[in-house]
Every structure is written in C-alpha cells, then in structure tokens.
Structure 1
C-alpha cells in the first residue's frame, strides 16, 4: 500500500514497523485533524452565507424531528440565525443526512461563537473536532455565562475529555450561573419518567440484524428502579445446582427471572400485533424438512426463524389478515389514499425517499409526486395511485413544496431528485447516488 508522507514523498506502508510506523501514525492523525478543521470551516462559511431573513424562516430542531422533537433553533443563545432549508444542499454535497448536517452546523456555530477557547484549540490542531463537538452538544442549552465557564474549564483538557467530565463541568456551570434551574430540572426529569419498548436497534445488534430481541427502557425515580433491579437479581437462578443450565449466560437467566416475576404476579400476556410474511403451511408443517430452517419476516423489524415465530404464537390468539397485493396500481379520485394504498407505499419504499434521508416511512407523509389538483380547480380523475405516491418526512415534504426541490419516480422504482442549484441525485433501495450532469 503506497501512501504519501508529510513531505509529499511516496511511502510503502507494508514496509513500516516500529518507530517508523508510529511516526507515520502521528502524521496520519495530524492529517485527519486538518481534514476535520477544513470541514468545520466549510460548514461555518456555509452558515455565514445562508443567514435567516427572520425568525419565521430560521432552521430549527423541529425541522429535523429525528434529532430533537422540538421547535428550538439550532445552537445556543447568541448564535447567528441560519436559513430554514440551508442544511439540504450541504448535506447532499457532503453525502450526509440532513439531520447529521444540521447537528454539525449547530456544533460548529456553538464552538465559534460560544466556546472560543475550545474552538481555538481545534484551529491549532490541538484537539480533534469530534471531542470538541461533545462539549458543544452539552452547552447549547446553557446561558452564555454558563457556556463560557464550561469553555474555560474544559479547553485545557478538551482533547482527552469524556462524558463524565463534561457532565460535571456543565452541572457546575448551572449551579454557579443558573441555580434557579435546578428545581426545574428535577421537575422536568420527573415528567420524562416512563417505559418504552423498542424492537429494532441496528446500532447495537449484531450485523444490524433484529434477531428476535427487543429493548425495554425504564426511566423513573432511583429507589423504585433499584427495587425492581434487586427483585430480578433475587429471582435469578444461579449457574450451579441441580436445576441449573450452565450454558445460559447471566443475561438470559435474568430475563427468565423477569418472566417468572411477571408470572408470579399473574400478569397476563398482552395482545401483540405482528405483521408476519409467511404462509400458514410454514407454521403447521412441523415435520417438513423445507421449513425446519425456514425464515419469516416481521414487518418493520426483520427476519425471524420459523421456530421463533412458532414459539411466540404458542397459545396466542391469531388473526389472519387479507393478503396485500403489492402489484396493485388502481387509483382513487380522493386526495387521501385508502388504507391499502398507504400500506402498499410505505412497505414498498420503507423510508423517506429524499436523498440521504432514512426516516421510517411510518413517520412520513405520503407525497403526491405530481402535485394533486382538486377537481374543482380542473384536476383530472385518478391522481392518487401508488405510482404517484412516495413517503416523505415532513421536513423534506416542505423542502419540495417551498424550497424548489423536485423529483420523479422511474419505472424501476427509483427516485430522481433535482436540487434548487441543479444537482441530480438518484435514490435507490440501496442508497443515494449523485449523478453528474
């Protein structure tokens, strides 16, 4: 493998070892920091050249609902306003999602305008940008005085700072400059208490697969959760003894203990709706060699073995719903599609069809690719049909309507998008491609 060193000379990496290899690693880190700094400079310049004309047209987190579901403007107090749809062209150029680009813009603005000492260290290549961004994310809700305190505290150590030290510095700044918010913080955290069940977390699952495992998250007061934790531990069977199953790990035994607690409390099994793409024969033909290792698909989650599905359905009440014909093309005259059409489009496309966006289709609007014209205004019949509908998240639905993005659906089911400045992108089932015109 041929690389180039800091003097522009060719270098055979496979021949390096010892101190030579460490020196080259040091050079590689320096080049990486330069690239990060260059990206930050580009982002800041983009923000400077895309200033919001007023607060009604200012970029907010509410426009990127996957980041924070609120209407707060990006950046902390005192950060310059950025135009509402500024993220999309930059995101496409950098091959990032608009949500990730918005977060990068907010962090870069926070560093320049509210964390100048940490920003200076990034500029001098004394800190990686990703470490500086950790601090910037944590300070955007603080007052300018509190943010300045965090800046002064963490700047000397920012290139080694971790989450614990950042949290400590932020808590100290709040106590010094915003003591009245401590009680409000306790109250607001109480409002966040609750239980959520998540079925698919590809960021932590093996190879991005669902694997028949779900995640239960509980947020509440510490004593109550400690009691539940201790109850599960007290019920967990030991790994040794006459009834022990030594091959089971601690985690599996703890989940079985939780099931035993629920059974002991008489908690009934809940009604669960899973849309599973398999045939009735797959479930009933236990002895068939063809189905012994078969796989079904749980809509919105992923593949599951037939053995796992049979286990779930044992003793359950099962409803068989009509089969959805994915080849249907018939139309309706109304603006809103019927339920079958809505399900067909969201299952067909699975996510927002805007370039680099992956908001799930279940959270998207169904957009008329050719804008719908009401019959009273001369609109033709049959405008609403699967070929003229596509899922678009609310932000990118508005980008098409307001910011002059346009697109069309090809006969192969891909989407060709044209930006306001003329760049063309092809969104396929495998990802987004930039087409050179």
Structure 2
C-alpha cells in the first residue's frame, strides 16, 4: 500500500481501496473471534467453583445467548469484555450471540466471512433472523447463504429470508396469522410545537399509518396509482410551472378516496365525449371493472420427491408461502396461467434486437444488473434494463449474434460506463460474465454474485469465451 496518496497512480489507489475493504472485513471478524475466545475461557459453570456465591444471592451463572446448539457462557464475565469494547454489556451479549450462531449453527457461512467475502454485519443479521430455528432446520439457511456471500447485502438477506421461511413454514404461517390480528389504520395527532419545528414540520399536513392484508394493500396501491396518474394527466397546470411529483398526486388521490362520490364524478368527467348527450353518454360509458389485470411472475422449485416446495419467490414482493400466493390471486375471478419458462433453454436470432423471450429468460436467470457488485434488481415496477450485446453486434457479421449467449442486461448508467469508459466484458455462457475495468481490476459475475479474480484468471476465462457454447443457441 502506498503511503503518499497524492503521488499514487490510479492503479495503486484502486488496489489500495480494495485492500482496505478486505482489511476492514477481517478486522470485524477478528473482533468476533476475540469475543468467542473470551467466551471459551468463561464457559465453565461458575457455580461449580469453590466458594461460589449462589445464584439466588446474585452469584454468576451460565446463560445461553445463541440459538439451539450454541454453548453457554458465564454472564458476569461479559462485563469486563464490554468495557474493553467501549460499549454496554447488552451490545456485547448481542455480538457474542451472533458469533456463537455463526460458529456453531452457520459454519459454512462463518468460513466464507473469515475469508473476507462478506461484511460481518450482514451475516450477523442472518444469524438473528434464523435464531428461532433449531440446529437441523438452520442447515438449509447456512448452505444457501454461504453460496450467496459474493452477492450484494440486500440479495443475501433476501435469500436468507426465503430459506428461514422454507426451513419452518409452520412458524411463518403463525407469523402471518398473528399479523392478521394486528391490522389497523392510525391517524396520529401532531405533537405540540411540531408545526414550527424545523426538524419535524407538520404545518398543514397530516400523517396516516396503515397495516393491511397484503393483497388489500396491493389493491389499494394500484387504485391510488391509477387515480394519481389520471389526476396528473388532467391537471390544469400552467406551462411555466414546474410539474408536480407523482408523490404529490398520490397524496391527492389518497385524499380523494375519502369521498367516493368525488372519485366517481372525476372519473366519469374525464370520460365525457364532447357532443354526446347525457343519455347517450350513459349508454356508451363502459363499466369500470375494479379488478386490475396484472402479471405475476412466481419462481417455484421442486423438492426431492417432485412436489412443489413450500416457498415461492414472487417478483417485486419476495419470498412467500404458496398459501400466500393463492391468497394474492384469490381475489381475481379470471386467472390465466402462462407456460412455464424453462431457464435451461436458449435460442439465437439473426436480427439486432433481443427477442422478448430472450430478455425475459436472461432477467429471470440473473435476477439483477450484471455490472460488477451491482445491487439493482429487475422488478416489475422498475425501469427495464438495457439488453446490451456482450460482444458488439456486427451487421456484416455471422448469423445468430443475438441471443442468450450474447446478452448482458445493465441499468442505463452502468451501460453508459461500459460503453464510454473502456470496460471489457466477455460472456462465458447464459449466466456467467468476466469484466475488466479501465485500470486493471477483474471480476467474475454470475447469478450468484461478484467475485474478484486475478489477471491470469481473467485471461484463462477469456480463452473460454472465445468459443461461446452452442448449447444455448437454437
């Protein structure tokens, strides 16, 4: 690492930044290892010591901090470690509980974190999310999270969430049912002074909180979005005025729902046809079906017995029990099931544009943006990615240049960086890419995340990429 950063080259600065990330990760791991070593020193029963003060008189005792299968530790011994860590003993207890879970219940994940593959705070959160599982149930969480450690934190946590649900679907169903009993809508009153408080200004506005059934919340969101779009489209706004945000129009739509008659009058008003009599208008006015049509993409998997697993991933929502998916669809009278998309197949075409089915398969395979370390996910409500040809399209080139074998979906700003700043990218198959940055950093990107590679590894992969596999070209 260079000591004088003002004289460092771009390459030196990049490598120093990468080294600092790894060092910071390993330092957090070392802090957890120190906690574990301290706990190991104080794992004996203090009540077995000669002259021990009984527990009923405040004497030390063994306590369990982690989940099922973790060891005990003497409670009073943690106060001194808390002092050394410059924190309250409850913070020390929480950190040790996470460390116990990682070492004893999530060993594969712990091994990956000790290699510096992930931030410690991410796996500590996984440990807390999965603490109620027993030592057998947690194994599927450990395997899935360990395999995902090269992904962005949000994706790791989403995978962990799905696996915790899958490990104990009965417990999750209980959580769902409990939440159904805790639904409500609240209209909090402004506290005295808040109208002139710069930090929490409530002058002229009110706040609404609601906890609804998930299907009802989605239906309400769609209604508000549709009404907001109509209000924005038909608003009388001067040409010189700045356009109001959709947040503003959603607030207006939400407020209008308090008067259903006003909503109907507005919707009927924007459907008026000039020159049509009132009688003719009533006859021609189409009935408004309150049920929205929507496309729901559900990812399912089969168990070893060939049955559907208990958990599905719904695009834009996340992991849900199959019973929850049924509830989401249950309010629709007409449901059209589209053919299953087989992600093991592929095809190529002779034109420049990627066909819709190729785009869809690529997005479902990769889940998100394929720029190194990107966090963006392809969700229904987000902006569609740019489907960039990994190898630039040549109109004078051979047939079959466009397809699963030559498709790199990127968000617009990452696409611009690739195009204008000298990044190199090669595709090794329908779900594997290698990147080189302008100043010599190299990354392997797959649906499982981003992993640093050396220049030698990059060159080895590049040789593979020279002959794209024909398995995914029809």
TM-score norm. by structure 2 comes to 0.42
TM-score norm. by structure 1 comes to 0.45
Higher relative contact order (CA 8 A, sep 6+): 2
